[in-house]
Amino acid sequence: MTPSTPAPVLVVGDANIDLILRGDVVPRFGQVEQLIERADAVLGGSGAIVAAGLARLGVPVSLVAVVGDDAFGVMTLEYLRWVGVDTAHVRVVGEPTALSVILSAPGDRAILTLLGALPSLTAVESIAAVADTRPRWVHAASPFLTGSAGWLPELFAAAHDGGAGTSLDTNWDPAEGWAGVAKALAGTDVLLPNRAELLALAGAIVGDPAAGEAAPEDPARALAALGPRVVVKDGAEGGFSLDRHGRAAAARGLLAEVVDTTGAGDSFDAGYLAAIAHGIDTERERLAWAAATGSMSVQAAGGTSGQPSLVELREALRTASPQVHAP
């Protein structure tokens, strides 16, 4: 594989519209009409944002997802096609497209989510898409929103049978039970949690360490022992990873003026997977791609509008290289 022929990726996950509201966004009931500063209706859903980020970074990418036969479904499909994601495996059903309304205040946000069509995603269509698109990598996003947690082992087995690697970004489990992830980890090559998800997943799967005894990388080491390389998104710090042999690496993000952190973790995933698809074989460099892509995404509203092209990412990495940690 050469850098000019990136390997194709299949993303299986959630796709929706994010309606991001900014300004005086704390609602007051009693039919008060509040004026806000800004509203952006943008492509949302972890799966869709990862797919868009990969396409932007020059990686051939197909998305398996379900949207509704409504205006938001049309918008979701149009955004995906516009950024260059293959939508042949995005199914349209007679249910509402998922929607997240994000009340974005400085330093915090509240999110109101309608699952809508997301849980209609099936194992059969996802595995069929693996056979159809013959990817070199299969990434699963948001299993607790799409209902895929129970069939991830089947999906990842199909990926491995076809010679593809596998990755999983669970995102948060609204039920906080994290059911099914333990079984999926044996077939997961790369697990991509953020800090909060790392702690919750490790707590649910391997138990909480005794108070005071835990080092920050202990939960990652515990999950890595079950199979995957654990790649942790660490906010303004960037990211680090550990594999089951104890090999560690880290990279800082770029110094960023934060406009909106929606989808930062998904853009980080896209940067990491794009590095793999482009044949980058050192873990530190993959993390540098990931952290820089995440940092660039926080500089614009929504998950995808700040995502870099390959040229922009390479330029950012070149000028910011002194910030990369030694492994």
Closer residue to ligand ADP (CB): 60 or 143 = 143
Closer residue to ligand ADP (CB): 180 or 265 = 265
CB of 271 to ligand ADP, least distance (A): 8
Closer residue to ligand ADP (CB): 180 or 239 = 239
CB of 47 to Mg ion, least distance (A): 11
CB of 233 to Mg ion, least distance (A): 7
Close Cβ partners of 4 (under 8 Å, ≥ 6 residues apart): none
Residue 103 backbone phi and psi in degrees, to 5: -90, 100
Residue 235 interface partner, choices ligand ADP, Mg ion, none, CB cut-off 5-8 Å depending on type? ligand ADP
CB of 86 to ligand ADP, least distance (A): 25
How do strand 239-242 and strand 229-233 relate by DSSP bridges?
antiparallel
Cα–Cα distance between 306 and 300 in angstroms, integer?
A: 5
Closer residue to Mg ion (CB): 130 or 198 = 198
Residue nearest to Mg ion (CB): 265
CB of 142 to Mg ion, least distance (A): 8
Determine contact, residues 255/249, Cβ cutoff 8 Å.
no
Cα–Cα distance between 231 and 228 in angstroms, integer?
A: 9
Binding residues for Mg ion, rule: CB under 5 A, are 171, 265
Amino acid at 63: L
Closer residue to ligand ADP (CB): 187 or 239 = 239
**Best CA proximity match to 77, nearest among 112, 105, 100, 52:** 52
Residue 120 interface partner, choices Mg ion, ligand ADP, none, CB cut-off 5-8 Å depending on type? none
Residue 253 interface partner, choices Mg ion, ligand ADP, none, CB cut-off 5-8 Å depending on type? ligand ADP
Residue nearest to ligand ADP (CB): 265
Determine contact, residues 52/133, Cβ cutoff 8 Å.
no
Closer residue to Mg ion (CB): 74 or 300 = 300
Residue 113 interface partner, choices Mg ion, ligand ADP, none, CB cut-off 5-8 Å depending on type? none
Close Cβ partners of 33 (under 8 Å, ≥ 6 residues apart): none
**Best CA proximity match to 14, nearest among 69, 59, 78, 80:** 80
Closer residue to Mg ion (CB): 62 or 297 = 297
The number of beta carbons lying within 10 Å of the beta carbon of residue 213 is 7
Tokens representing 16 are 């929706």
Residue 302 interface partner, choices Mg ion, ligand ADP, none, CB cut-off 5-8 Å depending on type? none
**29: exposed, middle or buried (Cβ count in 10 Å: 0-12, 13-18, 19+):** exposed
Determine contact, residues 119/98, Cβ cutoff 8 Å.
no
CB of 287 to ligand ADP, least distance (A): 9
Q: What angle do CA 155, 128, 64 make, to 5 degrees?
A: 75
Binding residues for ligand ADP, rule: CB under 6 A, are 194, 233-236, 238-239, 253, 256, 258, 261, 264-265, 268, 291, 294-295, 298
CB of 268 to ligand ADP, least distance (A): 4
DSSP states of 172-201 as a string? --TTS--TTHHHHHTT-SEE--BHHHHHHH
Closer residue to ligand ADP (CB): 180 or 303 = 303
CB of 265 to Mg ion, least distance (A): 3
